[in-house]
């Protein structure tokens, strides 16, 4: 049986806190280094509207790489599968999320999947709109709709901090421009991408988004089909194969659910037909995943038999 109370979750949060000091907060984006390492929160959102949560649940965090799943959904809605996958692949890399290595060795020169930075930049490039501002407005409206929260916004300080220091991402983008995967002005794309990564919410909002994906793209409360069924399926499949960076294989064995993490410490889980999970814990392991968040999911998976496999 799945979790039925906040108290059950609180016990798991207390146990998972034990590993917090085995990790570190991300600091390659300077503003992220200010995060409080001890924070930890979790929320579960069920299709019948129940929400269970524990820990620092009011704490806001930026989506970072979790936004890659949502940008992919919008690009697939905008262009369809064929167009998108002509420009970005479907295979895991086994490399760190910001690696440039396989961009050069893979032929034809396109990023291997939409969950690594190169692939995400190519996907964000595909979001339709009349200007960078309009494209960002479309993406954030989409995310407001998915989370049923009209107040979702982005963190300007973190967006600017990443924009000012994102030279590795610029390098990835310029490489892809040389190979016609990206055709727009790179500074505009970096502006859009860094704002996308800085979209902010708490674990309750994230659990609601996870639940929409779990319910094949349908908002269980309003019955609105926000994401087409096939697009939701593709997103969840990438979450399984590439969602936890180059720890996705181990995570599939130890936890066994579609999940996507970000370097601010968020993890979005989506258990097909059952529920959405939102986690925030900024202390990261050496692969860049929330160390206590992973521990929490491992314990939840065992206690509630969550693995799909």
Judged by beta carbon, residue 52 or residue 163, the one nearer ligand GLN is 163
Within residues 24-63, the interface with ligand GLN by CB under 6 A covers none
Is residue 154 annotated as part of the catalytic site, yes or no? no
Among 113, 169, 246, 283, which residue sits at the site for ligand GLN (rule: CB under 6 A)? 169
d(CA 240, CA 41): 22
Q: Measure CA 218 to chain center.
A: 19
Among 65, 99, 155, 270, which residue sits at the site for ligand GLN (rule: CB under 6 A)? 65
**Shortest distance (Å) from residue 251 CB to ligand GLN:** 14
**Shortest distance (Å) from residue 62 CB to ligand GLN:** 8
Q: Is 262 among the residues that bind ligand GLN (CB under 6 A)?
A: yes
Judged by beta carbon, residue 3 or residue 192, the one nearer ligand GLN is 192
Q: Is 92 among the residues that bind ligand GLN (CB under 6 A)?
A: no
- DSSP assignments along the chain, one per residue: -----HHHHHHHHHHHGGGGGGSB---SSGGGGGS-TT--EEEEE-TTS-EEEEESTT--EE-GGGHHHHHHHHHHHHH-HHHHHHHS-----SS-TT--HHHHHSSSS--S-TTSHHHHHHHHHH---SSHHHHHHHHHHHHHHHHT-TT-EE-HHHHHHHHHH-HHHHHHHHHHHHTTS--S-HHHHHHHHHHHHTEEE-HHHHHHHHHHHHTTTB-TTT--B-S-HHHHHHHHHHHHHHTTGGGHHHHHHHT-S-EEE-TTSEEEEEETTTEEEEEE---B-TTSSBHHHHHHHHHHHHHHT----
Among 263, 267, 275, 292, which residue sits at the site for ligand GLN (rule: CB under 6 A)? 263
Q: Which member of 19, 41, 68, 84 is catalytic?
A: 68
Q: Which member of 46, 154, 193, 304 is catalytic?
A: 193
Is residue 177 annotated as part of the catalytic site, yes or no? no
d(CA 54, CA 82): 42
Length of the chain: 309
**Shortest distance (Å) from residue 69 CB to ligand GLN:** 11
Q: Which member of 181, 245, 270, 304 is catalytic?
A: 245
Residue 108: asked if its preceding bond is cis (omega within 30°), the reply is: yes
- Applying CB under 6 A, the site for ligand GLN has a residue count of 11
Among 19, 35, 186, 197, which residue sits at the site for ligand GLN (rule: CB under 6 A)? 197
CA atoms within 13 A on the CB side of 271: 23
Is residue 163 annotated as part of the catalytic site, yes or no? no
Is residue 263 annotated as part of the catalytic site, yes or no? yes
**Shortest distance (Å) from residue 88 CB to ligand GLN:** 15
Is residue 46 annotated as part of the catalytic site, yes or no? no
Q: Which member of 13, 88, 240, 263 is catalytic?
A: 263
**Shortest distance (Å) from residue 115 CB to ligand GLN:** 9
Q: Is 162 among the residues that bind ligand GLN (CB under 6 A)?
A: yes
Q: Is 284 among the residues that bind ligand GLN (CB under 6 A)?
A: no
**Shortest distance (Å) from residue 47 CB to ligand GLN:** 28
Q: Is 290 among the residues that bind ligand GLN (CB under 6 A)?
A: no
Residues designated catalytic: 65, 68, 193, 245, 263
Provide the binding-site residues for ligand GLN, judged by CB under 6 A: 64-65, 97-98, 117, 162, 169, 197, 262-263, 288
């Amino acid at each position: 049986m799945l979790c039925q109370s906040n108290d059950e979750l609180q016990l798991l949060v207390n146990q998972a806190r034990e590993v917090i000091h085995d990790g570190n907060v991300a600091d390659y984006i300077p503003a992220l280094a200010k995060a409080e390492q001890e924070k930890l929160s979790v929320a579960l959102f069920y299709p019948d509207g129940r929400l269970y949560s524990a820990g620092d649940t009011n704490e806001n965090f930026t989506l970072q790489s979790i936004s890659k799943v949502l940008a992919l959904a919008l690009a697939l809605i905008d262009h369809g599968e064929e167009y998108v996958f002509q420009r970005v692949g479907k295979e895991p890399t086994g490399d760190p999320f910001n690696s440039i290595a396989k961009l050069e060795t893979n032929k034809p020169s396109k990023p291997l999947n939409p969950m690594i930075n190169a692939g995400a930049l190519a996907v964000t490039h595909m979001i339709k709109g009349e200007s960078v501002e309009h494209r960002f407005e479309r993406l954030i409206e989409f995310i407001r709709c998915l989370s049923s929260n009209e107040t979702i916004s982005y963190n300007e300080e973190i967006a600017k901090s990443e924009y000012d220091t994102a030279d590795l991402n610029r390098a990835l983008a310029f490489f892809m421009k040389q190979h016609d995967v990206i055709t727009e002005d790179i500074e505009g794309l970096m502006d859009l991408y860094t704002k996308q990564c800085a979209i902010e919410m708490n674990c309750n909002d994230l659990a609601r988004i996870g639940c929409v994906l779990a319910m094949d793209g349908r908002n269980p409360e309003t019955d609105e089909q926000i994401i087409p069924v096939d697009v939701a399926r593709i997103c969840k499949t990438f979450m399984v194969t590439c969602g936890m960076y180059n720890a996705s294989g181990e995570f599939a064995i130890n936890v066994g659910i579609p999940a996507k993490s970000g370097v601010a410490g968020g993890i979005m889980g989506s258990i097909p037909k059952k529920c959405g999970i939102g986690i925030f814990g900024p202390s990261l392991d050496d692969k860049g995943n929330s160390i206590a968040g992973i521990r929490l999911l491992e314990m939840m998976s065992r206690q509630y038999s969550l693995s799909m496999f």
